[in-house]
Chain A
Amino acid sequence: MTDLVYLYDGSFDGLLCCVFDSYTKKEVLTAIYSDEDFAPSLFATRTVVTDTAHARRVYRSLVRISPTVGPFLRRCHLTCLEEKELYMYRFVRKLYRLGPPLLRSLTDETYLPLLRAVRHLEHEVELLRGFVRFSELSGVLGGEIEPKNRVLPLLRSHFCSRYQNERLFLYDRTHREALFYADGRSEILPLEHFQMAGPDETEARYRTLWKRFYDTIAIRERENPRLRMTHMPKRYWNTMTEFQGPAYFRAQSSPADVRSPGAPGGTPGLGTPPAPLPPAPGSAPYKSAGES
């Protein structure tokens, strides 16, 4: 058997099509790469075309084994596990072979890495529900995060329902994508660059108030930096209000200096975030929180 590498478009459906093709073409894979992180290799490579009908067939066959598998694999696909595609592919093959008992084998060498990766993802989502900081910029709430996993799809319903009467966006610097929400619709879209506008008077004041609250609430006699670090790893501090330098708390007299790249034309209105785009055809509009 020769070593074979599949190349796919990075989408969840695309990955399911890798499974589909490997079965119909009777090929066993040694690696699956998405276009982005593909490095030329010595192995034979085939590009998998994403076909929604194929993806749906695979998905249905998996859900028939257990309804939990679908959502589980979707989550796997959002994790930062290295070579997650290959792990997922092997897991699926094994699942076809062994059926539901595999899902109880919590120590299985194929299943366990995925379980751990998803736990890591879910933990990060939980932390970020609290650690996300929004700023109000011209009536829109905007925030930035630097997560390891792709958390936006899982943070979506939480923030969109909490702030249902607001307009908001949340930019993921790591994965260069942003969640937009306005008027009951939300959308996650790729966004190459983004720079947050500076604060106006009111925003700067709230930042100051929060920092003061944060500094005051600690009990000096109990100081324990190590404990704080365990609960709130340093890598999150970068985007949290309470850990910013003095400049962050000063109102920007002319927000015009701050461009917000990423919006068409390059120079949108003063300090405004990029405008939410209308949902692309075929993409699911945001479900009202009552249903989710």
Chain B
Amino acid sequence: MDVLEKLTILTDAAKYDAACTSSGSRRSFRKGHIGNTTSSVAGCCHSFSADGRCVTLLKVLLTNCCVYDCKYCVNRRSNDTRRAAFTPEELAELTIGFYRRNYIEGLFLSSGVLRSPDYTTELMIRALTILRTTYCFNGYIHAKTIPGTSPELVTALGLLADRLSVNIELPSEAGLKTLAPDKTKAAILAPMGQIRQQWTANRQELVKYRHAPKFAPAGQSTQLIVGATQDTDLHILSLTQGLYDRYQLKRVFFSAYVPVVEHALLPSRDTKPPLLREHRLYQADWLLRFYGFRAEELLDERNPDFNPLVDPKCSWALAHLDFFPVEVNSADLETLLRVPGIGPTSARRILVARRVGSLGHDDLKKLGVVMKRAQYFITCRGKVADGLRFTPDSVLRGLIAAERPSLPQPEMEQLSLFTPAFGA
């Protein structure tokens, strides 16, 4: 089989993994090497695929052969699909060829389980070693750790990669038991714990010895599948928060489940991927990471799922009207960040600009505040915007309308179908 054909099969099998960022590792050039990861710090998109997702890394599997039988996965043993495997040499050469042409920021290497987790990981290590030593590749590498891999091999992998990930995939143990019978929660969490520990130790070592070998300098991430099981948003978001807190994960990715098989325990094949739900979870994840929100502020047992009509921040604001209005000229950063329509950038600009003179509503627009959202929740010098009258109902309608153009498409149409009836 030639490389073009392998690439097709092994890309197709890897495309459901959501992680394609290259952020969090700053390594400038090294003499005699090719590449740096300085642009990767902010996460550099090299293209956008037809589904609107960022293409940063050459995202492929080493092989889609797998001895496991996870029910939700196209690569499971029992699925009748074409199989292929790159040789480590082919993969390294392909990566360099793409990197030199600036197609990619680096490699995202994952794999089905060929023979055993250790055997597969050894192959991955071979490919990455060729890349790092023979080709002197100094760009970004994200490697997937397969549950059940021996700790020594995880270490070796971490010394070659910028980021490691262990995918949890199913948000609850019950889901794992029924849908991924070969995996256990313990087998997933073991490498995660190991990576966290080694990463922290390595940080301290690097302070002492600047040239100590780096272990996964960009930390670790994971992915959760949304919509394959019955888990609520509350469950998923709490899990996410726990992962940030306990395992110091850099990112948790969400992947709307695309039905690839007919199975009694899974949504039927004609189910649409829950894109809006995935979108809401990413919005909430953003609130956890950059806005100082906690999961329990956004959802609780009585409201365990996000409101499809408005984003989580607006939803929080509507439930906490007593917190508002916020006076833009005196509120602190934390408070400003709670206002829908004000993000970290515009909040910081507000802090700078108001030192020179007090700000009016027109100024806020110039600073990048989204007034369509913010107007209901702020005052400038004690006043709301001229001519603005509203009731809780009209606020809700206004917020829904303001968000509509930026929603994932298919669901947007569904929404516009039932919005007019809303509030009636």
> A residues engaging B (CB < 8 A)?
101, 104-107, 112, 126-127, 129-136, 141, 143, 158-159, 161-166, 206, 208-210, 212-228, 230-232, 240-242, 289-290
Contacts and interface: CB of A to CB of B under 8 A. Distances in A.
B97 interface: yes
Contacts of A219: 15-16, 49, 51, 53, 258, 273
B408 A165 contact: no
B15 A216 contact: yes
A165 B34 contact: yes
6 contacts: A107-B359, A130-B39, A132-B102, A217-B14, A217-B53, A222-B273
Interface string B36-73: 10110010111111111111101110000000000000
A163 to B, nearest CB: 7
B367 A106 contact: yes
Interface in B268-306: 272-273, 275
A interface, over-half SS? helix
A210 B29 contact: no
A161 B28 contact: yes
Contact of A164 (B7, B29, B139): B29
Given A136-B101, A214-B49, A218-B49, A227 B353 contact: no
Greatest chain B CB density within 10 A among A141, A215, A219 is at: A219
B357 interface: yes
Contacts of A240: 47
Contacts of A214: 47, 49, 55
Contact of B11 (A134, A141, A166, A216): A216
A208 B4 contact: yes
Given A105-B353, A136-B101, A213-B11, A223 B48 contact: no
A162 B58 contact: no
Interface of B: 3-4, 7-8, 11-12, 14-16, 28-29, 31-36, 38-39, 42, 44-56, 58-60, 94, 97-98, 100-103, 105, 139, 256, 258, 272-273, 275, 349, 352-353, 355-357, 359, 362-363, 366-367, 408-409
B34 A162 contact: yes
A105 B51 contact: no
Residue in A135, A214, A217 with the greatest tally of chain B CB atoms within 10 Å: A217
Given A161-B36, A162-B36, A210 B103 contact: yes
A224 B413 CA distance: 13
A242 B51 contact: no
Contacts of A220: 51
Given A101-B356, A105-B356, A224-B52, 20 more contacts: A105-B353, A106-B367, A130-B46, A130-B56, A130-B102, A131-B47, A134-B100, A134-B101, A134-B102, A165-B33, A206-B101, A208-B4, A209-B4, A212-B11, A222-B408, A224-B409, A226-B409, A227-B52, A232-B47, A240-B47
The residue among A104, A127, A213 with the most chain B CB atoms within 10 A of its own CB is A213
Given A227-B52, A240-B47, A290-B28, A158 B39 contact: yes
Contacts of B42: 126
Given A221-B258, A222-B258, A242 B47 contact: yes
Contact of B47 (A130, A221, A223): A130
Nearest to B94: A209
B226 to A, nearest CB: 13
Nearest to A237: B47
Given A104-B353, A133-B102, A212 B272 contact: no
B135 to A, nearest CB: 11
A98 to B, nearest CB: 9
A228 B3 contact: no
A135 B101 contact: yes
Contacts of B32: 165
A104 B352 CA distance: 6
B48 A228 contact: yes
Contacts of B100: 134, 136, 141, 163, 166
Contacts of A141: 100-101
A231 B102 contact: no
A165 B11 CA distance: 30
Contact of A289 (B29, B39, B59): B29
Contacts of B256: 222
A275 to B, nearest CB: 20
B2 to A, nearest CB: 10
A130 B356 contact: no
A127 to B, nearest CB: 8
Contacts of A217: 11, 14-15, 49, 53, 55, 59
Given A161-B28, A218-B15, A222-B51, A210 B36 contact: no
Contacts of B139: 162
B409 A227 contact: yes
Nearest to A164: B29
Nearest to B271: A221
A133 B100 CA distance: 9
Given A129-B44, A161-B36, A209-B94, A218 B50 contact: yes
Contacts of B54: 231
Contacts of A241: 101, 103
A198 to B, nearest CB: 16
Contacts of B59: 217
A139 to B, nearest CB: 11
B366 A106 contact: yes
Closest 10 CB pairs of A and B: A227-B52, A218-B49, A222-B51, A218-B50, A130-B46, A224-B52, A216-B11, A161-B29, A106-B353, A107-B366
Given A126-B42, A289-B29, A206 B97 contact: yes
A29 B285 CA distance: 52
B97 A290 contact: no
Nearest to A141: B100
A124 B49 CA distance: 19
Contacts of A163: 34, 100
A130 B101 CA distance: 11
Contacts of B39: 129-130, 158, 162
B49 A228 contact: yes
